[in-house]
Amino acid sequence: MARAIKYQVKYRRHGSFFWKRLKNILEDGFVDNTNIRFFINDKRERIEISLDSTTVVFSEERVDAIEELNRKTKEDLITRPPGIGM
């Protein structure tokens, strides 16, 4: 199981000068069949943001976690025997 990380997200509406910040985020994703992204923080609060005309930036911790997951996935695909896990 992957190690849980806390990360930050900042976002702003296009045309706005001010960024809003979400701290201590543990999980994020998309609401099915919508243009809405959700974030869950360490207090188990769920924040939903419409991505229409919105810029979202993830902190370095989240970017590193994604890169590590992609690296492990690629390694698994290379080392897994054919027909296993499909």
Look up residue 74 and give its two tokens: 């690629």
Assess if residue 84 is contained within a domain. Answer: no
Beta bridge partners of 48: 38
Is residue 2 in a domain? Answer: no
pLDDT over 70, % of the chain: 90
Express each pLDDT in 2-18 by its tens digit.
568 999 999 999 999 99
The reply to whether 73 falls in a domain is: yes
Torsion angle of the four alpha carbons 25, 26, 31, 32, in this order, in degrees rounded to the nearest 10: 160
> Could you tell me if residue 1 is inside a domain?
no
DSSP single-letter state for residue 51: -
The two tokens of residue 63 are: 């970017």
pTM of the model: 0.75
Q: Which residue has the higher pLDDT, 14 or 83?
A: 14
Measured distance CA(60)–CA(34) in Å, rounded: 26
* Inside any domain, residue 35: yes
What is the amino acid identity at position 63? V
Angle in degrees, CA 19, 22, 24, rounded to 5: 150
Domain that holds residue 64: 7-79
Domain assignment present for residue 55? The answer is: yes
Q: Domain tally for the chain?
A: 1
